[in-house]
Every structure is written in C-alpha cells, then in structure tokens.
Amino acid sequence: MEDTTVDRKQSKPASRLSHVIIILFCCVLLGLVVVRLYRSHRPGPDVQVQRRSGERPLYLIDINAANVAELSLLPGIGPAKAEGIVTYRREHGPFRSIEELERVSGIGPKMIESIRPLVRLGDVRGPEIATD
C-alpha cells in the first residue's frame, strides 16, 4: 500500500496559495465595484440654463408626449405640476390646445403665456384604436 500523506502535504501549500490568490482577486474586484458605484452616485454640479430674452429655445416641448422630467424644464413647472399635467393627459387624453393646460391644478393664464413659446401640441388624436 502506498503512502499518500506526502502528496497531501505537498498539495496543501499550493491549494492555500490558490485560495489566497482568489480571495485577493475578489477583494480587488469588490473594491473596484465600490469605487465605481461611489463615483456614479455622488452629486454633480448643479446645471442651470439661462436664456437671453428674445432668444428662441433649441427645441419645443410637446405637451402631449413629454414626461415629468421634460415638463419640469419649463419655467414655473416643477415636478408636482408636471405630474399633474401627465395625470390629466392620461385621464382625459391629449391636450387639444395649450389653453387646456388651465384645467391642471396650479396652472393659470399667466403661466400659460410664459410657457407658450416653449411648448407645442403633438398628436391630438390620441392613441390609435384598432378597428378590426
């Protein structure tokens, strides 16, 4: 019968070394993931867009298609009013005129006049309905 104790003793250091290498590799990988997450979630500088009076906007916001974030870009429209616009549009269908925004709580004639040059009406037909 052969003695296998010598083989086990010689394989232990190699096995331990491979475990140490794997643990070190995992620690380095975990560290890289933590650094990446930290960098992606730290707050960046606030960006403020200033427009000179009389200057045309680069694009118009479609009030029948814009989401809350896009609507929030309009002056005087914060996240709550933007959510109100989206909710109204979901419940009543697309806006047929810009003046219809007055039906949304917190939006009046003065606000409509201030955002009029910045918005447009997209498709007012609403969603397509199959007639098959």
Q: What is the CATH number of the domain that holds 112?
A: 1.10.150.320
* Cα separation, 116 vs 106, whole angstroms: 16
> Is 48 within the bounds of a domain?
no
Residue type (1 letter), 84 = G
> Is 32 within the bounds of a domain?
yes
pLDDT digits (tens, 9 = 90+) for 10-63: 556 678 888 889 998 988 888 888 877 777 665 544 444 455 555 555 778 999
Burial class (CB in 10 A: 0-12, 13-18, 19+), 71: buried
Q: Measured between alpha carbons, how far is residue 39 from residues 2, 32, 42, 79 in Å?
A: 58, 11, 6, 26
> Is 53 within the bounds of a domain?
no
User: Does 35 share its domain with 65?
Assistant: no
In the chain, the number of structural domains is 2
> Is 95 within the bounds of a domain?
yes
pTM (2 d.p.)? 0.53
Mean pLDDT of 86-91: 94
> Is 50 within the bounds of a domain?
no
